[in-house]
Structure 1
């Protein structure tokens, strides 16, 4: 078979993605992710009772900055990876910088703390449940964002799945911050990250199957 014939055969029945399809799909999936995570958080866990006080403190907004920056970076990566042949691009520094900052802060807290206070700073009061709570809140966004990405013809399926899972989980973590009582960067650097990486790992596993087009 000649090359021209092969190209013609492969292109048979292929229709181009409509202009603005990415904006439309993410315009639907991102609100579902945010509203779904917030509704689940409020219903299953509830707002922390002292929220009115802690929102006036810098540490609360520092805690919120970590998942917000990861959500922005993951969105940049996911939108790019949803296109055929694209790479992560600018999403990498946006995602890695806040993680490095939090890890540095966590190391400083642990090193300067008294020996008896080091492990409690890392474990907090909710280390056993925190990652799985985030995983639960990420479910609506995970489904919605996978739907958005699948319709845009990704080719790096595992990487696109991982970015989609991270986007869903970082949005879920933003919502979880309004319930979670933990205020130590040493806690966030381990357990928030674990909670966000679980859906990312799940997305990498499922991406090859569910993002195929």
Structure 2
């Protein structure tokens, strides 16, 4: 069989991909992974007992919405990288801008605080565990998103894996915020960002190996 005949045969059997199929796959990954992440948080750490009162404090919403924005941006980026020829474009700003804003808020807050209070704002009470708690809670969404990616066609596997890591990291940090007692902006700017970086790095490493065609 000649090459032209083989191409024609394969093309004759091709079927159109359902519209929004990629978005639906990652939405399903979130629908599967996010409840499991919430279960890990609730069973392993527990929800804050004063959560209702804490919801009236502006910094609680900063702590919750900051990683939620990272998760949304990761969702947009990963579903684009999962399709050949689709450009990410300005969606990368969705990851960079929240981090830069929290860094700026943390730095300004640290500068304005009394000198004897600055160390506590940076280290808090949970700096030793915060990073790994976020990474652990992100695992269910991380695994589900890699499975979704594996069934698609990313042409930049390392970047796609990193984007999946960003989506899962943001989701994991947002869920962890329902337990975390820390509210200082410098703490969030350092330890939450490091905690969310771990799944991104893991996604890039695993993506380069698992998502190759």
2:17 corresponds to: 18
Residues 33 and 171 in structure 1, CA contact (< 8 A), matched pair in contact too:
no
Partner of 1:125: 125
Contact 2:32-2:141 within 8 A present in 1 as well: yes
Q: Which residue of 1 aligns with 2:87?
A: 87
Task: Say whether the 8 Å CA contact 2:23–2:79 is kept in structure 1.
Answer: no
TM (norm. structure 2) is 0.90
Aligned residues: 210
What TM-score, normalized by structure 1, do the two folds share?
A: 0.90
Render the CA deviation track for 1:7-30: whole Å, top value 9, x for unaligned: 949x78995672132133123101
Q: Report which stretch shifted further, 105-114 or 79-88.
A: 79-88
Contact 1:85 1:156 in 2 (8 A): no
Instruction: List per-residue Cα deviations over 1:129-178 (Å, max 9, x = no partner).
Output: 00100111111111100111121200100000000011011101111000
Superposition deviation, residue 104 in structure 1: 0.8
Aligned CA distance change for structure 1 residues 58 and 166 (closer, same or farther; 3 Å): same
Q: Is the 8 A contact 1:77 1:89 kept in 2?
A: no
Structure 2, unmatched stretches of 5+, are: none
Does residue 35 in structure 1 map to residue 38 in structure 2? no
Listed as ranges, the matches of 1:49-68 within 5 Å are 49-68=49-68
SS of 1:129's equivalent? helix
In structure 2, what is the equivalent of residue 160 of structure 1? 160
How big is the shift at 1:112? 1.6
Deviation above 4 Å: which 4+ runs of structure 1?
11-17
Counterpart residue number, 2:186: 186
Q: How far apart are the structure 2 equivalents of 1:153 and 1:23?
A: 13
Separation in 1, partners of 2:15, 2:131 = 40
Residues 153 and 114 (structure 1), Cα distance of their counterparts in 2 relative to 1, 3 Å cut? same
Equivalent residues of 2:46, 2:179 under 8 A apart:
yes
In terms of mean alpha carbon deviation, does 54-63 or 175-184 score higher? 54-63
> Are residues 70 and 16 of structure 1, via their aligned partners in 2, closer, same or farther at CA, if it must alter by over 3 Å?
farther
Query: 1:14 and 1:203 mapped to 2: Cα distance?
Result: 34
What corresponds to 2:200 in structure 1? 200
The Cα RMSD (Å) is 2.3
Q: Using a 3 Å threshold, how does the CA distance of structure 1 residues 57 and 78 change in structure 2: closer, same or farther?
A: same
Give the Cα separation in 2 of the matches to 1:160 and 1:35. 23
Q: 1:188 to 1:196 in 2, by over 3 A?
A: same
Correspondence 1:136 to 2:136: yes
Matched with 1:78 is 78
